């Protein structure tokens, strides 16, 4: 645990008692704060009370009169589309609002670090797509190379639940826009921006607000090194703002599908090969084409980001390549769940938006595509480049008819349920094809989350193939 500093003897309120909320409450108490907690869910309140926390309705009149800070969970709106009533009350009362990420950065470190030969580092990853894979890949590469590493934030453990890092240890954080937008302290040593595509626009009042939330990690965090994906104009703009000139190697530009040029530090993947260039010369190259845990151009971009980040921490190209080759992938992200002869079954349930699904479609040549769910704003036009790879679509979800209408030129069968979609895809798949779950939509019309959707897909595939779970 990382005890929260700065609130010893003060009252702090915690709103939302999920993983991050309870973790923050424990860490605040460990740091000497008097913690008051609230969640609209009675079951969550009961769980907190069992741990000895005092539950207080934070909408009660006068409750913020002596509160030093309100700590809120990332899923609770604090600005758009409108603030949660409790957060609105805190804003009205002038009480600072923070989250567990802000508490972590203000509390990390201590006297013990004075005796370390190498100070611990924090490496933070944000972006629209690929940040979970990139974070897990960085953690894996570091661990495989013998470096102490902990994975936390939006993946792995709650950020305040981790152990204090040891000599030379690295904390790898995956950070969502919800987390970076609100955190009052953001001071990573290395920060990574993977890419940007429209997502969570209601929470940020549009694409500009969404990008601004990501940008805070760099503009306010002031990392020693920034790894920036420059395949979109927002990334190119961010890299330009951070660098003092073309040769400033505090900024490492990364790209997928094209070569980068110039005097700076660059890592890019092209035709399946990753290349590192510095000062106009190539210094390393890795063949990514046969790495099963990283299929497709989108995963090659993730590999570039992880390579650049770990190079910024001092790892050698040889050690990084060994880590890339031993990486098995994350569940629900281009996850190979089964094979039947020359037919592969891939679970990419995390592809909840159009851009992520497009990258999954582009990763394979001939696809039996299971798609659909709760559609997001913006339509399906962004999938156009990937549709020629689709042999047939099997559409699930309550909006299956509407979804299928957005797939011009694609043979689409309205299946509605995962059970029927998998059964049809298994029956019709031919050698050399991939049965791919890449929904391009949220899961909440039929599942609690994308993980449950992916687990259902994998279980039904294995049942259809007669394999043990």
Q: Is 299 helix (H, G, I), strand (E, B) or coil?
A: helix
Handedness of CA 217, 222, 227, 233 (dihedral sign): positive
Tokens standing for residue 50: 């069992």
Tokens of 136: 């897990």
CA angle 458/463/469 to nearest 5° reads 65
Tokens matching residue 170: 């690295």
Q: Which residues line the annotated binding site?
A: 127-133
Closest to 352 in 3D by CA, of 440, 266, 274: 440
What Å distances lie between residue 131 and 56, 175, 191, 401, CA to CA? 36, 8, 11, 31
Tell me if 295 sits within 8 A of 360, measured CB to CB.
no
Rounded Cα–Cα distance for residues 469 and 467 (Å): 6
Task: Cite the beta strand spans of 212-272 per DSSP E.
Answer: 225-229, 251-256, 265-270
Cα separation of 335 and 346, whole Å?
Answer: 5
Residue ranges of the binding site for ATP: 127-133
Work out whether strand 251-256 and strand 225-229 pair parallel, antiparallel, or are unpaired.
parallel
Tell me, rounded to whole angstroms, the distance of Cα 144 from its chain centroid. Answer: 21
In whole angstroms, what is the distance from residue 14 CA to residue 198 CA?
Answer: 30
The number of angstroms, rounded, from the C-alpha of 102 to the middle of its chain's C-alpha atoms is: 18
């Amino acid at each position: 645990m990382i005890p929260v500093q700065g609130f010893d003897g003060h009252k702090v309120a915690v709103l939302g008692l999920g993983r991050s909320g309870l973790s923050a409450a424990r860490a605040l108490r460990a740091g000497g704060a008097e913690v008051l907690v609230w969640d609209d869910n009675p079951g969550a309140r009961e769980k907190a009370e069992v741990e000895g926390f005092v539950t207080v309705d934070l909408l009660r009149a006068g409750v913020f009169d002596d509160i030093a800070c309100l700590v809120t969970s990332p899923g609770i709106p604090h600005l758009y589309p409108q603030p949660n009533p409790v957060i609105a009350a805190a804003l009205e009362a002038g009480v600072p609002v923070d989250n567990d990420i802000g508490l972590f950065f203000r509390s990390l470190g201590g006297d013990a670090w004075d005796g370390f030969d190498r100070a611990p580092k924090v490496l933070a990853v944000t972006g629209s797509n690929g940040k979970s894979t990139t974070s897990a890949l960085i953690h894996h590469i570091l661990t495989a190379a013998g470096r102490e590493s902990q994975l936390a934030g939006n993946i792995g453990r709650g950020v305040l639940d981790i152990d204090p890092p040891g000599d030379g240890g690295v904390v790898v954080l995956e950070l969502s826009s919800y987390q970076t937008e609100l955190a009052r302290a953001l001071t990573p040593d290395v920060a990574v921006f993977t890419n940007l595509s429209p997502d969570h626009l209601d929470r940020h009042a549009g694409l500009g607000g969404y990008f601004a939330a990501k940008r805070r990690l760099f503009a306010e965090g002031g990392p020693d090194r920034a790894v920036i994906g420059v395949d979109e104009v927002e990334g190119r703009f961010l890299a330009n703002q951070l660098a003092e000139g073309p040769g400033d190697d505090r900024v490492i530009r990364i790209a997928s599908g094209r070569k980068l040029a110039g005097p700076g530090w660059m890592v890019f993947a092209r035709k399946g090969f990753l290349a590192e260039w510095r000062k106009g010369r190539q210094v390393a190259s890795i063949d990514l084409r046969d790495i099963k845990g990283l299929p497709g151009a989108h995963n090659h971009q993730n590999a570039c980001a992880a390579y650049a980040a770990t190079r910024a921490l001092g790892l050698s190209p040889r050690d990084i390549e060994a880590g890339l080759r031993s990486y098995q992938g994350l569940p629900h992200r281009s996850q190979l769940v089964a094979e039947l002869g020359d037919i592969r079954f891939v679970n990419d349930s995390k592809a909840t938006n159009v851009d992520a699904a497009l990258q999954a479609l582009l990763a394979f040549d001939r696809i039996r595509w299971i798609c659909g769910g709760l559609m997001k704003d913006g339509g399906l036009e962004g999938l156009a480049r990937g549709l020629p790879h689709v042999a047939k679509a099997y559409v699930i979800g309550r909006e299956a008819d509407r979804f299928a209408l957005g797939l011009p030129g694609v043979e689409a069968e309205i299946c509605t349920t995962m059970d029927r979609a998998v059964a049809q895809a298994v029956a019709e798949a031919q050698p050399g094809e991939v049965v791919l779950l890449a929904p391009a939509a949220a899961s909440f019309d039929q599942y609690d989350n994308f993980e449950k959707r992916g687990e259902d897909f994998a279980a039904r595939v294995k049942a259809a193939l007669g394999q043990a779970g």
